[in-house]
Amino acid sequence: MVTPAHPMDQLQQRVNADARLVWRGRWVDTTFLVEAGDAAWLVQVAAGRIAAVKRGPLVMPSWSFALRAPKDAWNTFWLPNPPPGFHDLLALVKYRALRIEGNVHPFMANLLYFKGVMAAPRPRESVAGGVQ
Amino acid sequence: MSAHFEPITGRYLRIDLLGKPHRVYVEEAGQGIPLLCLHTASSDTRQFRGLMNDARVLEHFRVIAFDLPWHGKSSPPAGWQNADYQLTSRDYVAMILTMMDALALDRPVVMGCSIGGRMALHLALDHPERFRAIIGLQAGAHVDPYYDLSWLHRPDVHGGEVSAGIVSGLMGPRSPEAERWETLWHYMQGGPGVFKGDLYFYTVDGDIRGRLADIDTTRCPLYLLSGEYDYSCTPEDTLDAARRINGAQATIMKGLGHFPMSEDPQRFMTYLLPILDRIHGASGVA
C-alpha cells in the first residue's frame, strides 16, 4: 500500500509548473518555514521558483518568516474545496488558526504569490486555488 | 461581440463637500425608485456594473452610484498632498446626505457594501426618515483587525498589489474568475493610503456595537445580506447585528463573499431581486 504524498511534498513541483505563479514571485528570494503541528518544512524560494523544500526535523533553521498552524487546519486548507474560513491564508489568520511570524515583509509585499504557493498543493479538481 | 453602449451614463458633479469644492463622478441607469449604491473601501462605482446592466432592476429602479472623493474617478480635494486621508463616520454621513440633496433624491433606497454596509447601519440609526428602505451588504457593527493596516501604505510595498492580496480570499472561490479578477483590479487601482484611510472608519471610528438596538425598523425597513466566505465581516457578525436590531431581516448568501454585487452579479441577483420586488410593491409604484 502506497502512503499518499503529503501536500508539502508536492509544493515544489506544483509551483514550478505554474509559469504565471513563478512570474508573480519573480522578485522573491527568501526561505520561509511552514509548521503543521509538530512537523516542519523549510521552503527556499529563488526568483519565484521553489529551489528546495526540506522536511524537518530541522537543526538551527534560518528563515525570514514562519507560517504556523495546527495540522488539522492545514489539512482542511488543502482540501479540494475547503469550507469558508479555511479557504485562504488570511481566513486562517482571522480565525486564529494560522500565525505568521518573523520578518513578514516578503510575505506582505508578495501576498498574492505566497497565497498561490501555499494553495498550489490542493488537488487538481480544486476550484479554490485560482485567485489566491 | 458587437460593439454596444451599456445603459449606464456617467457625469462629473461639481459640489462642495465638507466645506471644500469637489469633483465627484456619478453614474446612473434605469428609472423609477432611486436606489443609491455605496461602494466598498478603496474601490468605486464599477462594483455595481452588474446591477446597472440588469434589465430586471432598471425597469423599476433608478440606480445611482458615486465614487467617494479619493476613489475611482472622483478627485481628492485641492491640497490633498498635505494631509493623510482618513474617513470618519461624521464625514461619510455628511457626504451622502449632501449628495442626495444635490441629486434631489427623494427617499431613495440605499444599499451599501462593507464600509457602505456599516454606513447603512449608521443611516438606519440616525437618518431613517431620509430612506424608503436600507440594504446592508456585508454589514456588521464592528470588525476585529486581523492584520496590521500599516502594510497598506508604505513605499516598500506596492499598495495596489497588497490591497488585492488582502481582499482576494474574501470572495467566494466559486465566483466567476473574470468577475473576481475585475474586482481585484479595482483594488489594484486604489490611490496610496486610501484603503487604509477607509479602514479607519471600518475598524475604529464607525464602531456602533453599543447603538444597534436603537435602530427602529418601523421607521425604515432594514435588510442585511452577507456572503458566507467573508472573513472580514463574517456571517456571524451580520447575524449578531440582526439579533440586536428588532425587525432586521438577515440572509446569508451561499457561495458568495465580501463583494457579492461585483464578484458574482448573477448569483447576487437571486438574493437581491426578491428584496427589490418587496420594496417596489410597498412603494405602490406602477
Contact A88 B180 (CB under 8 A): no
For the ranges B24-38, B176-190, B271-285, the lowest mean pLDDT is seen at B271-285
Residue A61 lies in a domain: yes
Q: Measured in whole angstroms, how far is the alpha carbon of residue A84 from the centre of its chain?
A: 18
Q: What is the pLDDT of residue A124?
A: 74
Residue A2 lies in a domain: no
- In this prediction, residues A54-70 reach a mean pLDDT of 97
Q: What residues in B contact A23, CB-CB < 8 Å?
A: none
Percent of chain B exceeding pLDDT 90 equals 98
Residue A34 lies in a domain: yes
pLDDT tens-digit series, residues B196-246 = 999 999 999 999 999 999 999 999 999 999 999 999 999 999 999 999 999
Contact A105 B157 (CB under 8 A): yes
Q: What is the pLDDT of residue B37?
A: 98
β-sheet bridge partners, residue A113: none
β-sheet bridge partners, residue B30: B62
| DSSP-assigned letters across all residues of B131-168 | -SEEEEES--S-----S-GGGGSBTTB-HHHHHHHHHH
Q: What ipTM describes this predicted complex?
A: 0.94
Residue A62 lies in a domain: yes
Q: Which domains does chain B have, with CATH numbers?
A: 9-283 (3.40.50.1820)
Expressed in angstroms, the distance from the first to the final Cα of chain B is 35
Give the one of A91, A112, A131 whose C-beta lies nearest to B161's C-beta.
A112
- In this prediction, residues B85-91 reach a mean pLDDT of 98
Q: What residues in A contact B138, CB-CB < 8 Å?
A: none
Percent of chain A exceeding pLDDT 70 equals 91
Residue in A closest to B233 by C-alpha: A94
Number of domains chain A contains: 1
β-sheet bridge partners, residue A52: A44
Strands B222-227 and B133-137: parallel
Contact A109 B162 (CB under 8 A): yes
φ and ψ of B217, to 5 deg = -75, -5
Residue in A closest to B257 by C-alpha: A84
Q: What is the pLDDT of residue B1?
A: 83
Q: Is B47 near chain A, with CB under 8 Å?
A: no
In sequence order, the 6+-apart residues with CB closer than 8 A to the CB of A24 are A48, A110, A112, A113, A116
B109 within 8 A of B36, measured Cβ to Cβ: yes
For the ranges B59-63, B142-146, B213-217, B260-264, the lowest mean pLDDT is seen at B142-146
Q: What is the pTM of this model?
A: 0.96
Residue A83 lies in a domain: no
pLDDT of A28 above 60: yes
Give the one of B173, B231, B235 whose C-beta lies nearest to A128's C-beta.
B173
| Best mutation target, A89, A110, A112, to test chain B (most B CBs within 10 A) | A112
Residue A49 lies in a domain: yes
What does the angle CA A21 – CA B162 – CA A14 come to, to the nearest 5 degrees?
20
Strands B33-38 and B9-17: unpaired
Residue A16 lies in a domain: yes
The pLDDT confidence band at residue A132, using thresholds 50, 70 and 90, is: very low
B26 within 8 A of B62, measured Cβ to Cβ: no
**Range of A43's domain?**
7-68+99-119
- In this prediction, residues B143-147 reach a mean pLDDT of 90
Residue in B closest to A104 by C-alpha: B151
pLDDT of A2 above 90: no
Expressed in angstroms, the distance from the first to the final Cα of chain A is 34
The pLDDT confidence band at residue B286, using thresholds 50, 70 and 90, is: very low
Q: What is the pLDDT of residue A127?
A: 54
- In this prediction, residues B83-98 reach a mean pLDDT of 97
Q: And the C-alpha cell for A60?
A: 538551527
- In this prediction, residues B175-197 reach a mean pLDDT of 98
Residue A19 lies in a domain: yes
Minimal CA separation from A25 to chain B, in Å: 12
Strands A29-36 and A39-46: antiparallel
B170-186 burial by CB neighbour count: b if 16+ within 10 A, else e?
Answer: bbbbbbeeebbbbbbeb
Select from A61, A55, A67 the least CA-distant residue to A5: A55
Q: What is the pLDDT of residue A1?
A: 59
- Which stretches of B68-118 are assigned E, i.e. beta strand? 109-113
pLDDT tens-digit series, residues B160-182 = 999 999 999 999 999 999 999 99
Select from A130, A127, A129, A113 the least CA-distant residue to A43: A113
| Best mutation target, B163, B168, B228, B230, to test chain A (most A CBs within 10 A) | B168
Strands B9-17 and A49-55: unpaired
Q: Is B203 near chain A, with CB under 8 Å?
A: no
A9 within 8 A of A87, measured Cβ to Cβ: no
Contact B173 A127 (CB under 8 A): yes
- Alpha helical stretches, state H, A78-110: 89-94, 105-109
CATH number of the domain enclosing A48: 3.30.1050.10
